[in-house]
């Protein structure tokens, strides 16, 4: 991930109140923070993350606030000063004394708690403790006026509020710190720029947006899915530079699904109904979520450039080219008499030099080959969705738009993320996008067509080649793991996805409730597996191992119980704690919602034939003699 704020990048601004504001940093625009103020977006571009900024007072000729980086010594001044304080924690400020030296006692008892049996007063409270608002001498109108005329980023207002408090000397050290923190969060004009990574995005969606769209999946649940599915970097692709394999055109054109001689590692199968949050978390683990930092040229393209600067550079190039050509022409005039021909060549060179070179696309090397597929062969994600188009809306926060047909190949997900529907996986011949072979035109016909028709022709062929490649590769199997986070029945999902896994591949399934996962774990229980081995169902008689892997299911055996081992269900919830000197305890309140559970298991290949135990055994007579 980038360490600096890039142009057009999505960031999270943490406000003093603790709220998170997500926005896209578009160059040459103004970012508004509501009551805190506004500032130009260019002030935080190309600056590090995790810096705390303070909005300064507006100048007379400007309609925006300038920013000041708050140093760490100022941010943690209260914590550093409390360590050197001589006052012990928990001790109250001495009560004020009268002129004669006696301690003033509260008067005007308003409420009393009396024991109904004995009539003894158990506790009493005076109005001075109840009417806290009366301790503040500033009225609401004066506070509002100070807010409008606030200077020094709100610190003057906080100081006046504390000085106007009549009972500030009666507060304990902890109470005074709590009061100051409350006013600081309310009136200080500061914010912190944080990177919008997967944990930050998940917490923002869970706390401030609609958690149902991500199936109420907490950060610890996302981490459990990635760990139990063993999602990691799968290695560099052998076709990383985009060079096509030999006979790739023939394989796609013929529609053959030939398994590779060597299994390809680092391919994960995912069923995601969280809008792309699970895909983003897996891509981050695999190292294909963020573009490489070396691509600073993309950021340079987005920076505004002056047309006068471009025009000056162009004139300088023309003049230098003209000087070089003139000197060469003078030498050739002395040596050769073909002056006219060389002058024409020089003029053509000037024209070529003044023309701006056309920027080639990353895939222009194979633009002429419609059957070339830009997908990688390892370290890939294959998403299975139930709609005509996958829902990956949350990937736009990571500069990837799957619905954009002009999405460049410079983003890693463009080469490492493949999608297909359930129809294409189960019945591909019923999908017209897969089965309908596009017509092939001759070069003479292509030259006679208009540009729009030629573009449509090439676009359809490239789309058909991509779909053919993804469907055939997915149906071939050999995946390294399976991750599921869907509202669909997990039994129906695993019935068609488990046979696509390689031996030893982990399986991780998330569900908001435990009941679907309990039924799934029962299908792969030890007792059901023993019943399958001891008394196989009548429908399984005479079927091969490959046919049994795609077992359609019955009432007694909904799934083939011999395909997964170690089935278990678990959950985890992080408990927040307050960590303060002498007051460390878990927080009493937390967010509710679905608990969330994870089903884990491992893919195995059932042994064919009779299993025998072999090894060196000791004879019984020898054992009897030794005893």
Can you give the three-state secondary structure of 24-36, one letter per residue?
Answer: EECCCCEEECHHH
Residue 28 is assigned to a structural domain of this protein: no
Q: Where are the alpha helices (DSSP H) in 208-276?
A: 219-228, 248-254
Q: Is residue 482 domain-shared with residue 548, that is, in the same domain?
A: no
Q: List strand residue ranges (DSSP E) for 134-249, in order.
A: 190-195
Chain centroid offset of residue 416 CA? 15
Residue 227 to residues 183, 221, 223, 511, Cα–Cα distance (Å): 42, 10, 6, 16
| Number of neighbouring beta carbons within 10 Å of residue 510 | 24
Chain centroid to CA 409: how far? 19
Percent helix / strand / coil, the chain, rounded to 5: 40, 15, 45
CATH number for the domain harbouring residue 410? 3.40.50.150
- The alpha carbon dihedral of 244, 250, 254, 260 has a sign of negative
**Do 593 and 450 share a domain, yes or no?**
yes
Do 434 and 550 share a domain, yes or no? Answer: no
Q: Tell me the pairing of strands 267-272 and 481-485.
A: parallel
| Residue 594 near residue 216, CB atoms below 8 Å | yes
Q: Are residues 484 and 542 in the same domain?
A: no
Radius of gyration (C-alpha) of the chain in whole angstroms: 36
Contact 152, 160 (CB under 8 A): no
**Do 593 and 469 share a structural domain?**
yes
Does residue 551 sit in the same domain as residue 404? no
> Is the domain of 554 the same as that of 480?
no
Q: Which residues pair with 13 in a beta bridge?
A: 21, 193
Q: Report pLDDT for 284.
A: 96
Residue 421 contacts residue 434 (beta carbons within 8 Å): no
> What is the separation, in whole angstroms, between the first and last Cα of the chain?
69
> Running DSSP on this structure, what letter comes out for residue 249?
H
- Do residue 479 and residue 569 come from a single domain? yes
Residue 303 lies in a domain: no
Residues 274 and 220 in one domain: yes
472 within a domain of the structure (yes/no): yes
Same domain, 384 and 499: yes
Mean pLDDT in runs of 10 for the chain (627 residues)? 90 90 95 88 95 87 87 78 51 45 43 51 47 57 61 63 66 72 74 95 92 94 96 78 47 46 74 96 95 56 43 42 42 42 45 45 52 90 94 95 85 94 95 90 91 91 94 95 96 96 96 96 94 88 86 90 95 88 84 91 82 66 61
Asked whether residue 263 is assigned to any structural domain, the reply reads yes
Residues 381 and 456 in one domain: yes
Distance CA 158, CA 136 (A): 13
Structural domain contains residue 506: yes
Residue range of the domain that includes 481: 212-293+367-524+563-608
Q: How many domains does the chain have?
A: 2
Decide: residue 433, CB within 10 A, 0-12 exposed, 13-18 middle, 19+ buried: middle
Residue 62: per-residue pLDDT? 83
- Residues 510, 544, single domain; the answer is no
pLDDT of 166? 59
- Whether residue 141 lies inside any domain: the answer is no
- Element of type H or E holding 126: strand 121-126
123 is a domain residue: no
Neighbours of 227 (CB within 10 A): 15
Question: Is 148 within a domain?
Answer: no
């Amino acid at each position: 991930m980038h360490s600096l704020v890039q142009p057009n990048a999505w960031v999270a601004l943490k406000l003093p109140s603790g709220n998170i504001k997500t926005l896209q940093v578009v160059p040459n625009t103004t970012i508004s923070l509501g009551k805190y103020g506004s500032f130009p977006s260019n002030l935080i571009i190309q600056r590090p993350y995790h810096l705390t900024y303070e909005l300064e007072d507006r100048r007379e000729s400007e309609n925006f606030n300038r920013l000041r980086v708050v140093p760490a010594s100022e941010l943690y001044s209260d914590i550093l000063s409390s360590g050197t304080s001589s006052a012990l924690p928990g001790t109250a400020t001495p009560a004020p004394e009268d002129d004669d030296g006696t301690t003033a006692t509260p008067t005007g008892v308003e409420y009393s708690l009396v024991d109904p049996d004995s009539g003894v007063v158990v506790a009493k409270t005076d109005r001075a403790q109840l009417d806290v608002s009366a301790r503040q001498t500033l009225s609401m109108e004066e506070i509002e006026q100070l807010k409008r005329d606030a200077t020094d980023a709100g610190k003057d207002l906080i100081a006046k509020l504390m000085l106007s408090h009549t009972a500030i000397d009666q507060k304990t050290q902890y109470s005074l710190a709590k009061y100051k923190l409350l006013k600081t969060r309310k009136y200080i004009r500061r914010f912190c720029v944080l990177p919008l990574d997967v944990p930050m995005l998940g917490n923002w969606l869970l706390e401030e947006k609609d958690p149902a769209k991500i199936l109420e999946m907490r950060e610890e649940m996302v981490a459990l899915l990635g760990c139990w599915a063993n999602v990691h970097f799968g290695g560099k692709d052998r076709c990383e530079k985009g060079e096509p394999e030999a006979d790739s055109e023939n394989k796609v054109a013929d529609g053959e699904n030939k398994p590779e001689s060597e299994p390809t590692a680092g391919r994960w199968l995912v069923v995601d109904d969280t809008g792309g949050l699970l895909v983003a978390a897996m891509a981050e683990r695999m190292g294909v979520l963020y573009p490489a930092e070396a691509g600073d040229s993309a950021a340079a393209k987005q920076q505004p450039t002056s047309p006068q600067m471009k025009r000056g550079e162009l004139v300088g190039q023309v003049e230098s080219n003209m000087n070089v050509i003139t000197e060469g022409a003078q030498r050739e005039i002395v040596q050769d008499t073909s002056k006219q021909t060389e002058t024409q060549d020089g003029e053509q060179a000037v024209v070529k030099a003044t023309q701006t070179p056309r920027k080639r696309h990353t895939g222009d090397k194979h633009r002429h080959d419609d059957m070339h597929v830009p997908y990688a062969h390892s370290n890939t994600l294959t998403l299975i969705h139930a709609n005509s188009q996958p829902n990956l809306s949350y990937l736009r926060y990571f500069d990837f738009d799957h619905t954009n047909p002009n999405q460049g190949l410079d983003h890693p997900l463009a080469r490492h993320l493949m999608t297909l529907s359930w129809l294409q996986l189960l019945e591909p011949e019923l999908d017209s996008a897969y089965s309908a072979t596009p017509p092939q035109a001759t070069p003479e016909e292509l030259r006679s067509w208009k540009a729009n028709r030629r573009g449509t022709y090439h676009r359809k062929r490239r789309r058909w080649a991509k779909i053919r490649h993804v469907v055939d590769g997915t149906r071939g199997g050999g995946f390294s793991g399976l991750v599921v986070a869907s509202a669909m029945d997990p039994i129906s999902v695993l019935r068609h996805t488990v046979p696509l896994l390689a031996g030893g591949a982990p399986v991780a399934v998330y569900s908001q409730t435990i009941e679907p996962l309990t039924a799934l774990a029962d299908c792969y229980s030890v007792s059901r597996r023993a019943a399958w081995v001891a008394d196989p169902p009548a429908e399984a008689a005479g079927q091969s191992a490959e046919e049994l892997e795609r077992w359609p299911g019955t009432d007694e055996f909904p799934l083939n119980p011999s395909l997964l081992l170690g089935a278990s269900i678990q959950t985890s919830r992080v408990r927040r704690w307050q960590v303060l000197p002498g007051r460390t305890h878990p927080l009493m309140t937390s967010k509710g919602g679905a608990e969330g559970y994870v089903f884990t298991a491992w893919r195995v290949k059932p042994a064919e034939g009779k299993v025998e135990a072999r090894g060196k055994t000791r004879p019984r007579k020898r054992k009897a003699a030794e005893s």
